[in-house]
Structure 1
C-alpha cells in the first residue's frame, strides 16, 4: 500500500486536509502553530484505490521542540511514496517555503505543491506567486470549503496502485430489473442510517407535511440576525445592540404562515454570532457549541450576510456549517437599505457569492432589510418553498428516466475495460433527498460523475435550496461489503 504524506510549515492546514480526506475529525486542528507534533496515520480509499495517509508535524526549526518535530516529519517523508507539500495561500511565497520545497523535490518522488486557504479572488492572485517554485503539479484549494480538493484527489488516485480485487461478471439489466423491487424490499440491506430500505424505501416516518419547519439563523457577529428574527416574528423577541456578541443563548420563536391553502408553523432560532476563533471570549465558546447543536436539529439554515460590509473569509467558514449539516440553505443579504442597491448591484453581489460559496450553488439568494422589514414576507415564502424541496419525494419512474437519459448522454467511464452500469435509482430518504444508485461497481463511480448526475437532477426537478445526496450501492450487498 502506497504512503501519502502531508508536509509543510506549521498552520498551513495539513491536519484540516487530513481530516477532510479521512472524512473524520481525527487530527486536532487549531490556529495555534505547532498543534500537530507527531504523525497521524490512517488507511483511506480514494474511489477503489487504497493508501496510507500521513499527517506530519510542521517543518519549523525555531525551537528545540519544533526542530525535533521537523526531523520526524522529514524521516516520514523519506519513507513515503507520494508527497503533498502545503503552503498558506493567505501569505506570499517566501524563501523558506521555496527552500523546503526544493529539498523535498530532490527526493525524486511524485510531489504536488498545494496552496491552501485560497478563498477568493485576492487569494487566487496571491497564489500565482507560487508558480515560481517550478512545481510540476500545483493545486489551489480551500480545505475549509472543500474547494479544489477533488482535483487533488484525482492526482493522488493516478499514482495509487489499481485495486486487485476481482470484479464480478456483469449482469444483464433486463434480468436485474425483473427482480429488483422484490430483492430491494425484502433484503436486509442497510442504508447509511442502519435502517432497511423497506417502507416505501424511506428510512424515516416523519410527517413532513405537518411538521414544524425548524430554521436556524446563522452568521457572524453584528450582521443583523436578531433584527431579522424580530422582523420575522413581528415583535422584539431578541435583544439587538451594536455590541458584538450580544446574543449568547439561541433564541427560539414560532410563527404561523400561510403556505398556499394551509397554515404552516415555523420555528426560528437566532443563534449567537460567530467570530474568528482567536476572538471568541469567555462564555461565547459555549454559544458556538450550542449553535452547532442547533444546526444538527434544523431543517433550513438562513445565512445572513451584511450587504453593506460585503463578504469576508469568516462568512465563508460559517456557510460551510450549513453545508456540513446537509441543511436546506437560504442566503440573505441584509441591510440592503444601507446600499443604493439596484438589480445590477444585486447581480454583482450574487456573482461574488456564487464564486466564493461554490459548495452552496443550490442556495437561493434574497436581499432584504430587517430594520425596515422590506422583503421579509418574501423570505417567509422562500422558506416554505425550500422546505418543500428539502422534503421532496421524487417519483421513482421519473427519477430513473432522468438517470438513464444522463448516462446515455455521457456514459460512465469504463473500469479496466469493463462497463460500469447504474441499474436503478431509488430514493431512500428525505430532508435532504438521499438517492441510492444501485449498480454493478459502486466503488468505480467517480465523484465528478456524481456531480454531473446531481446537476441533471436539479435541471429536471424542483430542488432549489436543498443538497442532493447520491449514494452508490451494490445490489444485494451490505454497506460493509460495498466498502471492501
Structure 2
C-alpha cells in the first residue's frame, strides 16, 4: 500500500521545515517569506519499518483571490485528495487564528484522517497556553518544534499508527520487478498490453494490490517477472501541474518497489522537463533503466533518423548515459519482444559481481594510465577497490584520505569499470573509505 501523508496549513507555519526534518535532508526550500513552497514536493520515508510518502504543500490562504493564491490552493486540494492522512500544521506563536479555523473546515470536508500539529513550541512549560488548539475538535494535538526536532518522533509514531500492514505482495528474489513509468499519453498502457500479449508470455491475473499501481506477474522464457503498471492515470484536471504531480508521485512509488524501470518516451514529441524528472526518479533511486521510445511507427524515417534520435536522447538525458535505448511501436508490436530480452540483460548487469582479482587488475591499469591527483601538495593514494553490493553494483575505494578523492577521478574509475565489465543499464555506486590502521 502506497500510504501518502500531506502536510497542510496556512503560509509560514513551518511546513517545509517539518518536511525537511522528517525526510532528513534539506529538500524543500525554507524561507521566512510566506508562500515560498508553491509546488508540492514529496519524498519516501521509512519509520519503524513502515514506509510512506510525505508531501509538502504551499500555504492555503482561505480569503485570497489572486491567481497565484488560487493556483497554490488548487495544488493543495489535489495533494489532499491524493493523501491517506493529513498533517494540519499550525503556529504556536500566532495562536489559533481564524485562517486556521477556515483551513480546518476545508480539511474536514475531505473526510480524511487529520493529525493536528502545533509547531514552534520551544518551551513545553508553556503548554497550558496552547489549549485553544483543542477547540478545533481534531483530537489531541501534537506539539513540536520542527526546527529543533522536538517531539517529531512522537509525530512519526502517530503517523505510522494509521499505516496498516502492507498490502504489497512479496516476491521471490529471482522475480524481476519492472516499473513502467513516463508522463501521461506516451503509451504506457499500450506498451504493457503489448508486452503481455506476446505469444511466449504466460499471464496470470492479479488484482490491483496498491492504490496507484497494478502488479501483473508473468513468465517469459522461464523467467518470472512482474510488471508494475502506473499507466492508469485519471485526468482529474486539465491543469498541467496537477497531471505532472500525479505522474511523478506514482513513478516514485512504483520505482521504489522495482528492480528495473522502463522510462517510456513519445517518439512524436520533444523530450520534456517532465520526462527528465521522471527519468531522474529512477536514476536517483538506483534502479536499472531502459529507455523505451514508443510510437516509432509514426515517425518519418531515413537512414540516419535513429542515430539523430539517439544522439538527442543522450544529450537531453545525459545523466543516464548508461541506459540502453530501444525504439518500439506498442501499436504494431514491432520490437516489443526485444524489451523482454533487454530486461533480462539489464537485470544481469544490475546484479553483476566482479571478483577481487579482476578489480585489483583494473585498478592497477587505471592508476598507471592516469595517476591519482595531487591536491594542495597531498597525493591521493588508492589501496584497493572492492565490490560491496549489487542492485546496483556498489564499490568502495580504500584511500589515504577521502578529501583527496575528487569526483572527477571517481568518474574516471567508474568509466573504466564500465569499459571493462559493461554494466550497461545500471547505475554504479562508487564510494571512498579511509584506510584504518589495522587494514
TM-score per shorter chain, which class?
A: 0.5 to 0.7
Give the corresponding residue for 1:271. Answer: 230
Give 1:410's aligned residue.
370
Secondary structure of 1:309's counterpart equals coil
- Could you tell me how far 1:399 is from its partner in structure 2? 1.2
Aligned residue pairs total 273
Give the structure 2 partner of residue 35 of structure 1. 36
User: What is the CA-CA distance between 1:209 and the residue it aligns to?
Assistant: 10
The question of whether the paired residues in 2 share the 8 Å contact of 1:221 and 1:274 is answered with: no
Q: CA deviation at 1:293?
A: 2.0
Post-superposition CA distance 1:220-246 (Å, at most 9, x none): 1000001101111118x9xxxxxxxxx
CA deviation digits over 1:413-465, x for unaligned, max 9? 11332321110111010000000101111221001111111111110002110
For the structure 1 residues 405 and 377, does the alpha-carbon distance in structure 2 shift closer, same or farther, using more than 3 Å as the test?
Answer: same
C-alpha displacement of 1:34: 5.0
CA displacement 1:57-95 (0-9 Å, x = unmatched): xxxxxxxxxxxxxxxxxxxxxxxxxxxxxxxxxxxxxxx
Unaligned runs of 5+ in 1: 1-14, 38-207, 238-246, 479-484
Aligned partners of 1:393 and 1:430 also within 8 Å: yes
SS at match of 2:378: coil
Corresponding residue SS for 1:232: helix
SS of residue in 2 equivalent to 1:374: coil
Kindly provide the CA deviation profile for residues 16-70 of structure 1, in whole angstroms up to 9, marking residues without a partner as x: xxx9xx993343389x995169xxxxxxxxxxxxxxxxxxxxxxxxxxxxxxxxx
What's the secondary structure of 2:212's corresponding residue?
coil
Kindly indicate whether residue 189 of structure 2 is the aligned counterpart of residue 226 of structure 1.
yes
2:389 equivalent among 429, 437, 446? 429
Structure 1 segment 157-306 matched on structure 2, within 5 A: 211-234=174-197, 249-258=212-221, 263-272=222-231, 279-281=240-242, 288-306=248-266
> After superposition, what is the alpha-carbon deviation per residue over 1:307-346, rounded to whole angstroms, capped at 9, x for unaligned?
0123222211211111110111100110011113355111
CA contact (8 A) 1:231 1:370 kept: yes
- Structure 1 Cα separation of the partners of residues 30 and 296 of structure 2: 36
**Hey, what does 1:376 align to over in structure 2?**
336
Unaligned runs of 5+ residues in structure 2 are 1-15, 39-170, 204-209
Q: Is the 8 A contact 1:305 1:315 kept in 2?
A: yes
Cα shift at 1:270: 1.5
C-alpha offsets along residues 97-131 of structure 1, whole Å, 9 cap, x if unaligned? xxxxxxxxxxxxxxxxxxxxxxxxxxxxxxxxxxx
Deviation at 1:405, TM superposition (A): 1.0
Q: Alpha carbon RMSD of aligned pairs, Å? A: 3.4
